[in-house]
Amino acid sequence: MEWNRSETIGLASTKCVHCHGLGLREARGRMVPCACVFRSIFRACYARFRKCVEQEKRYSRVSLEYSPGGGRRVTWGMKNEEYIADFFLVSRRHLTPEEWRLFRYHFLLGADARLCVKKLNIDRGQFFHAVYRIEAKLGKVFRELQPYSLYPLDEYFHGRTENPWRSMDSEDTPPPAAGKRPAPVRKVA
């Protein structure tokens, strides 16, 4: 995918010494996204993951999705559960076994730096370097993943619908007006 300044500038850290808040830096003669942009994407995805996990404890949400292409396909998606699974599986697939161990302890099980350095037998510097590297690596993967990226989150939760299943609605039923989502149906847990 092509990265441009309008995409990176809103995600970059204003304190970043590499890109000075622009989100792009030069590498081998061309402009590439700065790691601070990828870390920002990771953190947004991780915050959503934690929120989904919290919500899942209380209820399961079933949302009706309409095809943005104007088709009449409708799918029932348990978006929170799907997102939790995607976040977990994509992370596991793209991390090395060592990175995955740290990711599991720190990001999934909530172990802090003190516990992680003890459990993984590394020092604090190595721990924070690894966390930075994992955040940047996964942020890039989450944004560039094909055919559907995990980020932007709005698109993940409301914009994508490719499903071979035939419509559940009848041919006479018009799709909802653009920008209007059907009310979610809550299943009592």
**Contact positions vs Zn ion (CB under 5 A):** 12, 16, 18-19, 34, 36
Tokens representing residue 185 in the block: 């149906």
Provide, rounded to whole angstroms, the least separation between the CB of residue 3 and Zn ion: 12
- Which three-class secondary structure state does DSSP give residue 115? helix
Residue 67: phi and psi, rounded to 5, are -70, 125
Q: Which is nearer to Zn ion, 17 or 177 (CB)?
A: 17
Q: Which is nearer to Zn ion, 40 or 80 (CB)?
A: 40
Provide, rounded to whole angstroms, the least separation between the CB of residue 87 and Zn ion: 24
C-alpha to C-alpha distance for 36 and 178, rounded to whole angstroms: 34
Q: Which is nearer to Zn ion, 24 or 52 (CB)?
A: 24
Provide, rounded to whole angstroms, the least separation between the CB of residue 68 and Zn ion: 32
Any residues with CB less than 8 A from the CB of 92 and at least 6 apart, and which?
A: 100
Q: Which is nearer to Zn ion, 34 or 74 (CB)?
A: 34
Tokens representing residue 89 in the block: 């599986």
Provide, rounded to whole angstroms, the least separation between the CB of residue 16 and Zn ion: 3
> Which residues is 31 bridged to in the sheet?
26
Tokens representing residue 6 in the block: 């309008």
- Which three-class secondary structure state does DSSP give residue 134? helix
